[in-house]
Amino acid sequence: MTGFLGTTKNYLKIEFDMSNLQSEKELIKQAYRAFNKRNIEAVLTLMHPNVHWPNGWEGGYINGHAEVREYWKRQWKEINPVVKPVSFTERKDGRIEVLVQQIVKDLEGKELFNGFVKHVYTFKNELVIKMEIQNS
């Protein structure tokens, strides 16, 4: 899969080896790895253009790649979150529930939160269209 993002003059080419994305579980794992490396564009390539994403830091939801990008940029100027998937469960409705360990530190390295939450993913056309955060 190749994604192109940017203006008409400046394109950023992102490539993924689709043979490694054999399932939604693998796609989610790849998204967490890219998020933890702060590779916003790589994560967005795995999301539907109209993604509905939780603003877990400020509250509410945001929509689309541009809003997700700006949200993460704001967030990373204030805190340093790392999210590690622990387990995956396919729900009866087809959504994927991921139990994650979330470690949040301030920019000086002081731990602010270390605990478990559930991320629930909905897919459309093999891309993440929605994510919800639930307490575990």
Query: Any idea of the CA torsion for 89, 82, 105, 44, to the nearest 10 degrees?
Result: -110
Q: Residue 104 has what pLDDT?
A: 97
Task: Convert the pLDDT of each residue in 72-131 to its tens digit.
Answer: 999 999 999 999 999 999 999 999 999 999 999 999 999 999 999 999 999 999 999 999
Q: What is the pLDDT of residues 20-48, one digit of tens each?
A: 335 899 999 999 999 999 999 999 999 99
User: pLDDT, tens digit, for every residue of 55-66?
Assistant: 998 999 999 999
Residue 9: per-residue pLDDT: 39
Rounded alpha-carbon distances, angstroms, from residue 118 to 36, 39, 73, 96, 100: 17, 22, 23, 10, 6
Q: What pLDDT shows up at residue 115?
A: 96
Does pLDDT of 18 surpass 60? no
pTM here is 0.81
Q: What is the pLDDT of residue 3?
A: 43
Q: Which residue has the tokens 């509410």?
A: 60
